[in-house]
Structure formats: C-alpha cells, structure tokens
Structure 1
Amino acid sequence: MRHDDIWRAVDALAAEHGLSPSGLARRAGLDPTAFNPSKRSGSDGRARWPSTESIAKILAATHTDMDSFASLITGAAAALNTSGRSQAGRRIPLIGMAQAGGEGYFGDGGYPVGAGWDEISTPELSDPNAYALEISGESMEPVFRDGDIIIVSPNAPVRRGDRVVCRTARGEVMAKELLRQSARRIELASLNPAHPNYSFDLSEVAWLHRILWASQ
C-alpha cells in the first residue's frame, strides 16, 4: 500500500459522490483543507497520510464500507475491470494516451468519437461521455505509471487542485494538476517533478477534463 494509493482512493471516493476533496472533507465535518494537495506532504518533502479518524469520518459521511474503500486503494477494482467481465455498470471507450493526440478520436467539446476506440467495463457513471486512457511512458510518474488506466469525465466540474487531462489547440494531450484558472489563462502542474509546469492562454486550450479514477 502506497501513499499515492491512499490519496487516490480519497479522491475517487469524493468523485463518486460528486464532490471535490475539499467538499468531501467538509461533508465529513473536517477542515475543508484537510485533503488539499498541499497537505499531502510536509515542508521537508515527507509524505503525510490521512489519519484513521479522517478515513472513518469520510466513510461514515458517504455511507461507504471499508471493503469498497479498499477496492479503490488497490486500484479501483470495483471501478475498472480491464478484462471486460464487470458484473455491473457499462462499457466506456478506451485508447492509449499517445493516440489521444491524433485526429478523429474526439469531437466538439472533447467527447470521444470514431471507431478507433477499444472498450472497458466500469461501474455506472453519471457522465455518458466518460472515457478511459491508458498511460504510456514515464512522464506522469509517480502519480500515473506506464500501463495505468485513468477514467476521465468531460462533464465533471474542474476545480483547482484536480488532476486533469488537457488537450491543447495544437493536439498535445497531457495529464496534469490544475493550479489556477483565470479568465484568460490556465496554469498546470506537471505530475512528474522532472518535467516543467505549463501556462496557457485559454485560446491555446481545446479542452480540460477531470480525472475521476486510476487503476494499476
């Protein structure tokens, strides 16, 4: 069990209930900043873990049992089943991250289109346009590793601190963290500290979609 897995499970639990991590903390009666990205590591760089009390409170607030939460920790076993044998939910389109920058995979608004997609089974999602991307390479480590699959929602609200998939007007597709969005610009943080952060004019961004889950 890794530090990133625990926090990813907290983020996924929040997304399942239509909340940001701050909204989940607030619903559980915790400080709204308790789950902010800045609280997940100390000033010395050491990992900070959510307390057992905090976990107990968010499970109670969302009426979630420990087995369901554990499935999110271990790679969202209940959320993703790449073998296609999920007993519930629906199938959503899947392509590789490298393919996503090509033409013919996304229509207006960044919705998946065309026949070039594979499919995976997921639980029922509220967004009918949700899709999945398979990570390739090391540019998104340590958050997303080669072979990880992320579920992305074009219609989910995007807030500061969310992990997102961004497609630029030039066709580049990248997974980042939203640092700031103003009326004119978007600032994105790279998930891999070896890579630079990015700042774009809104005219340079085709779309920005929120990442709901990741599996390993």
Structure 2
Amino acid sequence: MTYRISPQVIALLKQELARCNNNTAALARKIGINPSYIFKYINGTVKSVQAGTWLKLCRYFPELDERPMLFRGNTGPVTGTLRQVPVISSASAAEACRHYYLPIAEYALDHPEQMVSFSLGQAGDFAIQVTGDSMAPSYPEGTILLVRPNVRLANGDPVVAILANGEVVFKIFVEGKTKITLASVSGDDGRTYQFAKTDSRAVWALYKVIQSMRDEAAINEAMKSQGVAQSWEKFALE
C-alpha cells in the first residue's frame, strides 16, 4: 500500500527543514528516512511512499495520522500488552552516533545487549541502559530507559541527549525563540546546556524518554509539587 505525498506533507517538511537550518541529513535522522528523499518529496519528484515510510512520517508529524485515535501509536497501552525492544548501553549509543548512520533503532536491533519488554513500547523504540553516573540522581547506573527516536519534541519532554563530546545525559527539552535548552531536572543551572537553534553540531541525538523501571508520572507529579518541574519554563522565553 502506498500513501500520497500531499501538500500538507510538503508544507510540514519545509517547516521542519527550516528549523533544521536546511540541513537535510539532520531532518532525515530525526524522521528515520534516507536524506536524499527529503528534497524529492518537497519538489514532487516522489509522489507517494510505502507504508513503512508513511508510518515514520506519521510518528514525526502526528497530524498526518488520520486513523482513529484508538489505533494511533501515541495512545495508552492495551492492558497486558508488552513489546520487546533491544537494549544497548548509553556508551554504545554514543559510539553508534559517532560511527554509524542512524536510525539508531536499527543499530540497536543489530547489536542488542539484551531484550526487555515494556508496556508502552512501539515499533522503532529501543532501550538504553545507563552506564556511569552521567544521569544520576534521576537514573542511576543500570537503569533501563525506553526511548523513542524520530519524534518531534515538546517543551518539558524528558530526553536522553548525546552531546557532541560523547557524553550521555538526562535532561528536560525546552525550545525557546532562539535557543534550545537541555535543562537540569533538579533546576541546577550549572548542569543545564544551551545552544543556538541553528547549531546542528552541539548535540548528536535527542531521544524522548517514554518509560523506565520507575513510575514517570508519579515522579513528575512529585517534582511539580516541589516546584522542580517548573524550573525549566523560564528558558522558553529566551
């Protein structure tokens, strides 16, 4: 089955390409498709895509998905349903970003260190096992995080970031007017990273954290009650 590249798809691709400073490779990595096709879609050279590519586009642009909400990938899980996903260490994830062409999920499938089951897992997800103390105290060494690549991030989303120096950290994503901020979960500005939106070299990859061995909703509520979760909001004005 094929899906038409509609004017809406073209408009969304143009908008995201501008946000990526016209870097087709960067946008292709985010969506999980071949970078040579970005301009082909925009210019109308390719007028339709296969189902697999369409699902990737829908994951990145949820507004394209016209299926009933019950069947969309961003709904709650069906009780008792588990999906196995490949696990790689945070060190391996950084190494893959340095030496391999993404999508990282395919690397994880080819080089799994183990397989684990998550109730919120979807096709294309993978898991990162924390090595070292770079994500402490939020996630101590050994914690396994279900992460989702190739999705647009919203302000306040928890992310695993792989920095240009190879460091892997857990932060809160904030997109301001001119800057991207990776804010400290604890509100400590000394552990917060900022870079210009046009700087595509500051961060190798950002993966949205979906689930872990802990109850993320309960943790978020606890942080809100202590005023920690709101500490990142000031960066949205920068």
TM-score by length of 2: 0.46
TM-score by length of 1: 0.50
Which structure has more helix as a fraction of its residues? 2
Larger radius of gyration: 2
